[in-house]
Structure 1
């Protein structure tokens, strides 16, 4: 059962792995990078990745409040303009079939 989940996951993950490599070379903070990864994992429904990136984010100093509120980033006051822009970008790139998020 785990093997089939893993083999199903791998082909879908290749675009995200390319994005991760690109982002790793950027000047974005470690906490923002992890928020981006958590949000992409939420959109794609990958519990393994959510768990991994949540642990990485807390290791790099991200607050639990930010992590818990990430799924409702549009409605919370906890995110900076840079973090909000990242959420919009990952929303658009993770699944083009999703409705575009409303901007505030």
Structure 2
């Protein structure tokens, strides 16, 4: 519904059955992170985050895994913080690396 001066009135946030949150108009979508990712990365240990994202570090190879709240994916970075790709934790579908993407180490 278009409101005053073309601003979209979307209403309150609702919680979906899968734990995600979105506005009634379906514009905003929030994916909750899994408790652990040991089924995908068995050596990953939960650590404090350097940003607003939940973070795990692989004790064996030093890879950094961060939760992407918008897309519901696990972003994969090498130990120097360079993006290596991402994986959906439910479907196990992988996405390629984004050139130039980095994270704080």
TM-score when normalising by structure 1:
0.28
Which has the bigger relative contact order, CA under 8 A and spacing at least 6?
Answer: 1
Instruction: Compare the two structures and name the one with the higher strand fraction.
Output: 2
Instruction: Compare the two structures and name the one with the higher helix fraction.
Output: 1
